[in-house]
Amino acid sequence: MRGVAAPLVAVPFGNLHLIWFPGSRETYCMKVILTRDVPRVGKDGEVVVVANGYARNYLFTRQLAVPARGVAVRDHQNRLDREREKTVQLLSAAQQNAAKIEGISLDILARTAPKSNRLFGSVTEADVAQALHEATGLEVDKRKISLIDPIKLTGSYALTVKLHTDVTAAFTVDVITAEQREARDAERAAVAAAAAKAAAEAAAAEEAANAAATA
């Protein structure tokens, strides 16, 4: 058993696994709590059943595990409870942050040559992360933004950011010049004014029709 780096066979043993070495004369086993990931044995924090010699001569001497008894079991359960609580908190925080990002549209101002949509420079994931921070107050990992290549042309880009293993938020980035934004905002204002005027005219017509009906 001494000097063996990893077991060869993992045999199901209830909810655990018995780690067994073919040809070994070891007949006694013990439950241990792994304190680090051990290849072909288990992950940090898991309880496994291993041969006594493997535990004593390999796992314990390398501080890869502790016996699953007494205070160690209680500490192990407390650790699991803390990890579960942390997992729930992280998921909840990610969902709340996703709600702030989902569906928003960000403007990133850029400079181009006259009558060209090609940027001087480019927009990177760091620029997008900064724009998200300015718009929402959230610090996001630029590596989690779905921008593969730097943006080198003006336009609208649909992106996502991964906030958690199970949480992704979608948003839009408009890479635009100051002149383009001014023209866009003027167009939007005109559309809104026209819509407001049409609504007012419809309301007036309805009011006139009601007055005529009651006359």
Phi, psi of 180 (to 5 degrees): -65, -40
How far is Cα 90 from Cα 121, in angstroms, rounded to an integer?
Answer: 36
Rg of the Cα atoms in the chain:
31
How far is Cα 126 from Cα 116, in angstroms, rounded to an integer?
Answer: 24
How far is Cα 174 from Cα 108, in angstroms, rounded to an integer?
Answer: 6
Q: Which residue has the higher pLDDT, 40 or 3?
A: 40
Q: Which tokens is 139 given?
A: 């610090």
CB-side neighbour CA atoms (13 Å) of 25:
1
Question: What pLDDT does residue 71 have?
Answer: 86
Lowest pLDDT segment from 128-142, 150-164, 196-210? 196-210
- Mean pLDDT on 44-51: 89
Residue with tokens 């839009």: 172
Question: Does the pTM exceed 0.85?
Answer: no
How far is Cα 150 from Cα 183, in angstroms, rounded to an integer?
Answer: 25
pLDDT digits (tens, 9 = 90+) for 2-34: 444 444 444 444 444 444 555 555 457 889 999
Q: What is the mean pLDDT of the chain?
A: 85
How far is Cα 48 from Cα 34, in angstroms, rounded to an integer?
Answer: 8
Provide the phi-psi class of 20: left if phi over 0, else alpha when psi is between -120 and 50, else beta: beta
Question: Which secondary-structure segment (H or E) carries 205?
Answer: helix 178-214
pLDDT digits (tens, 9 = 90+) for 57-93: 999 999 999 998 888 888 888 888 888 899 999 999 9
Question: What pLDDT does residue 122 have?
Answer: 94
In DSSP terms, 156 is beta-bridged to 174
Q: Which part of the chain is CATH 3.40.5.10? A: 9-70
CATH of 9-70, one of 3.40.1160.10, 3.40.5.10, 3.40.50.300, 1.10.10.10: 3.40.5.10
CA distances from 29 to 37, 52, 99, 136, 183 (A): 20, 5, 51, 55, 77
Report yes or no: 19 and 50 within 8 Å, Cβ to Cβ: yes
Question: What pLDDT does residue 174 have?
Answer: 95
pLDDT digits (tens, 9 = 90+) for 192-202: 898 988 888 88
CATH superfamily of 99-209: Ribosomal protein L9, C-terminal domain (3.10.430.100)
DSSP 55: I
Phi, psi of 189 (to 5 degrees): -65, -40
Q: Which part of the chain is CATH 3.10.430.100? A: 99-209
Question: What pLDDT does residue 25 have?
Answer: 52
> Pick from 25, 22, 58: which is nearest to 39 by CA?
58
Question: What pLDDT does residue 22 have?
Answer: 53
